[in-house]
Amino acid sequence: KRLGSSAISMSKYKLIMLRHGEGAWNKENRFCSWVDQKLNSEGMEEARNCGKQLKALNFEFDLVFTSVLNRSIHTAWLILEELGQEWVPVESSWRLNERHYGALIGLNREQMALNHGEEQVRLWRRSYNVTPPPIEESHPYYQEIYN
């Protein structure tokens, strides 16, 4: 038996989008990108507080999606723990990783603005048409990202 369009339109879903908690490089204003930085103590507290707020609003999750980066997975676990929903499946995909900043990875954003201009850094960070300089194999974080 096929469901009619009226059955589909009656379904309601909620999509909750959250950013991972703070890590050391966030605090230092550095481009993290795909480097697998862990949450710092403030980031863990941010995640727990988020879980408490969601619990106060009676949110229940069926499924959680994260990037493959530790900071995102750990944030999800801490939130689910606060909710008492540790059983909820967590699926990770590299497609949810944050933007790849290429050669800018690990560099300070303010210093990049001084070196290249604020407008150029803004384009690298926000444009879909302008990409940062590519990461080279000699980059200090290349091996960490690709191995």
Instruction: Clarify whether 98 is annotated catalytic.
Output: yes
From 42, 45, 98, 139, the catalytic residue: 98
Q: Does 74 show up as a binding residue in the annotation?
A: no
Q: Does 77 show up as a binding residue in the annotation?
A: no
From 20, 46, 74, 82, the catalytic residue: 20
Q: Does 128 show up as a binding residue in the annotation?
A: no
CB contact set of 87 (below 8 Å; sequence gap of 6+): none
Angle at 69 between CA 67 and CA 70, to 5 degrees: 125
Residue 107 and residue 132: Cα distance in Å, rounded? 12
Longest CA pairwise span in the chain (Å): 64
Which is nearest to 103 in space by CA: 91, 115, 93, 95? 115
Q: Does 20 show up as a binding residue in the annotation?
A: yes
Q: Does 4 show up as a binding residue in the annotation?
A: no
Handedness of CA 98, 104, 105, 109 (dihedral sign): negative
Tokens of 67: 């990037």
Q: Does 117 show up as a binding residue in the annotation?
A: no
Q: Does 24 show up as a binding residue in the annotation?
A: yes
Q: Does 101 show up as a binding residue in the annotation?
A: yes
The residues assigned a catalytic role are: 20, 98
Annotation: binding site for substrate: 19-26, 71, 98-101, 125-126
